[in-house]
Structure 1
């Protein structure tokens, strides 16, 4: 008798993705040792994306629906909120290629968690548009809630999480989210979920001119972007923390409440910012991000 396969619901948001979409869908369908269901939300495409989705839906390989243009973070959260219940969920971008063990590798890491919230993410292998491998930063996150308030280390396209975490995430509909992956990691860490970061890559993370958020920047552009974020008037970290506080505070264990309280109150208190500056609980695995965060604290632009 063939062993029972774990079922995972893959959620993909598309927007003018005709160039690489078929290759990505095929790699999702070809996943080994799992039972895959693919649901796609199109975020207002004007190219041939819808025609491609119609063809796959006609073949019974996915289901899709079209919505207004919400941008990626809200499109993915819409998918998650309206998805049917499943044991596991995964996000998919429209332009990558998954290795055939991507889903099974992640589920293996969190399958023993039962009703405990659990989240898996992995290293990516960056490629150019032709799927030729290019140098890739290797991440070493600590996986703490304090780190998640400072550092967005997990790519949504690598995530797999269970229904227990999905239930918590969808219990509140945020009005401000910078990126859905940062949002979900922060909730998971705050709730003391089991978080696993796999240092092996199970995804070819394609970099091209139309990427919403790519990593193939020159060192000059990378640091220019870091400085711009340092001085950014939107102060994304602070507003993200405010939104987490608003939506989930009553669910947080006391340690997470203490961490987010200090993070929020420091905005209006130099004394508290100094405490935050010296508090090792917010330390992150990327030293450059950690240093720039400390500078943003001194400038009160975090």
Structure 2
């Protein structure tokens, strides 16, 4: 897709999955096209999941006017994970790949900053990723006084950090290398979310890094609570009401363990297999947390409290 003038530049693929995103998609594409790109070139690949609004018409117009945009229409609803992976399949031989949500707005330095961090930190001989911070906004892009990752946040380092995450590092915050792309596309077990698979692979290969730079507006919709959990009461509600074990996440963990059993350390393998067993009762989970050093959000005490409260008042799910 790149022109002759850009053949000697580093190429980076922006990978986007769309579905009924007409309200915000143009603003997001404009922010990507405005990136500061002195020493690299951007190709944009978009997979649309049979939107029933004007999303297809909007992205078609962008494709017609921009030589670096390629789009494809899915004949049926693939779901977000497969839609992103379908977009990833469209890519060529770029050096790096960045996932893009359809409704965010990127700062004009996002790609450059992630690219520099990837060059400095990642081992490109094995699957890896770097992820950044973001400013959480409401649908009008008004700041919600919170970043995606708070100031005391510690980056994901091991499987213990992932056990009850019910997903991975936020996909639109990450840049992945070519080895990661190839590993994702060759993965044959069940995938819950594309960013969960990337996160687990980054941990598996000890090639995942966090930079605290705030590089985009992470837009939250009315039915999304991520940006509104501010204050003790809301955080407490989230602690006891959000699923401790997401069934689809557990299904993914089970398949991941089966696929990479020869690469996962024995102690981590045991923990992952325990967590992937969705039949675990609250008592079993409490025992696991106490005696196997299992944590949630990096804290074993938070996990023990959550299991205890949910065992008392709710069905552990």
Scaled to the shorter chain, the TM-score interval is: 0.7 to 0.9
| Deviates most, 243-252 or 10-19 | 243-252
TM-superposed deviation, 1:98: 0.5
Q: Deviations over 1:237-272 (max 9, x none)?
A: 533321211333234355643543454479669779
1:207 aligns with 2:220: yes
- Under a length normalisation based on structure 2, what TM-score does the superposition of the two structures give? 0.79
- Tell me, yes or no, if structure 1 residue 36 matches structure 2 residue 36: no
Q: Is the Cα contact below 8 Å between 1:187 and 1:244 reproduced in 2?
A: no
The offset of 1:86, in angstroms, is 2.3
TM-score, normalised by the number of residues in structure 1:
0.82
| 1:25 has 2:32 as partner | no
What is the deviation of 1:274?
Answer: 2.3
Deviates more, 1:17-26 or 1:281-290: 281-290
Match status 1:15 vs 2:19: yes
Give the conservation status (yes or no) of the 8 Å contact 2:49–2:77: yes
Cα drift, residue 102 of structure 1: 0.8
Once residues 202 and 272 of structure 1 are traced to their aligned partners in structure 2, the CA distance between those partners, rounded to angstroms, is: 37
Q: What SS does the corresponding residue of 1:249 show, helix, strand or coil?
A: coil
| SS of 1:202 mapped into structure 2 | strand
1:173 aligned residue:
188
What is the match of residue 248 of structure 1? 260
Matched, 1:57 2:57: no
Conserved? CA contact 1:13–1:40, under 8 Å: yes
Deviation at 1:123, TM superposition (A): 1.3
The 5 Å alignment of 1:1-302 reads 5-33=9-37, 34-59=40-65, 60-67=67-74, 68-112=76-120, 113-137=123-147, 138-139=149-150, 140-143=153-156, 144-151=158-165, 152=167, 154-177=169-192, 179-189=193-203, 191-209=204-222, 214-217=226-229, 223-230=236-243, 235-254=247-266, 256-264=268-276, 274-280=287-293, 282=295, 284-285=297-298, 290-291=303-304, 294-295=307-308, 301=316
CA distance in 2, matches of 1:124, 1:208: 15
Contact 1:277 1:294 (C-alpha < 8 Å) held by counterparts: no
Q: Name the CA distance, whole Å, in 1 between partners of 2:55 and 2:223.
A: 14
Report deviation, 1:159.
Answer: 0.9
Cα deviation, 1:63-115, whole Å, max 9, x if unaligned, reads: 11111212212211232345333211111011111011111211212224231
8 Å Cα contact 1:18-1:49 kept in structure 2: yes
- CA RMSD in angstroms comes to 3.3
Shift of 1:273: 6.4
After superposition, give the CA deviation of every residue in 1:150-207 in whole Å (9 maximum; x if it has no partner). 2246211111010112222222233351x32223212221x23321112121001112
Maintained 8 Å contact 2:240/2:309: no
Which piece of structure 1 moves more, 95-104 or 213-222? 213-222
- Determine if contact 1:29/1:61 at 8 Å carries over to the other structure: no
- 3-state SS in 2 of match to 1:44: coil
SS at match of 2:259: helix
* Aligned CA distance change for structure 1 residues 231 and 261 (closer, same or farther; 3 Å): closer
Distance 1:208 1:266 in 2: 30
